[in-house]
Structure 1
Amino acid sequence: MRFPKFDLDTYNRTKDLSGGPIYAIVEEEIPEIEMITDENGNPTRGGLIGYALAYVCMAGLVGAMFYIL
């Protein structure tokens, strides 16, 4: 997955130029989220617990939004 972001490094290097700074937009690659596995390719217990907690938190947030709204 890629998303565009403001290039702060180029901006900070060129902000003192007489003509003004150079603005640039760059695309950054975001690594995909994948299950943590051991050397045999089996999901680890910690990875399974982490996924379960993440889904419980997400379901709780959605449920709270429906309850509040």
Structure 2
Amino acid sequence: MRIVKFDLDTYNRTKDLSGSPIYAIVEEDIPEIEMITDEQGNPTRGGLIGYALAYALMASFVGAIFYIL
């Protein structure tokens, strides 16, 4: 996945120029989230437990939002 963001480093270095600062936009790659696997390619027990907990937390958060609203 790619994300486009404002280049703050270039802007901060050039913001004191007499003309104007240089604005730049950079694309950055974000690595995809993958299931943790062992040497044979099977999901690990810890990875499965982590995914189950993450989905349970997400479902409870969405449920709480619907309950509150």
TM beyond 0.5: yes
CA shift for structure 1 position 25: 1.1
SS of residue matched to 1:62: helix
SS of residue matched to 2:5: strand
**Residue number in structure 1 paired with 2:37:** 37
Distance across 1 between alignment mates of 2:8 and 2:46: 37
**Residue number in structure 2 paired with 1:50:** 50
Runs (4 or more) in structure 1 with deviation over 2 Å come to none
**Partner AA of 2:68 in structure 1:** I
SS of residue matched to 1:28: strand
Paired residues in the alignment total 69
SS of residue matched to 1:3: strand
CA shift for structure 1 position 20: 2.0
Quote the RMSD (CA, aligned, Å). Answer: 1.0
Percent identical across equivalent pairs? Answer: 86
Gaps of 5+ in 2: none
Gaps of 5+ in 1: none
- Listed one character per residue, the Cα deviations across residues 13-61 of structure 1 (whole Å, up to 9, x for unaligned) are 2122111211111111111111011111111111111100100010001
Q: TM-score with structure 1 length normalisation?
A: 0.91
**Partner AA of 1:3 in structure 2:** I
Distance across 2 between alignment mates of 1:38 and 1:59: 28
**Partner AA of 2:55 in structure 1:** Y
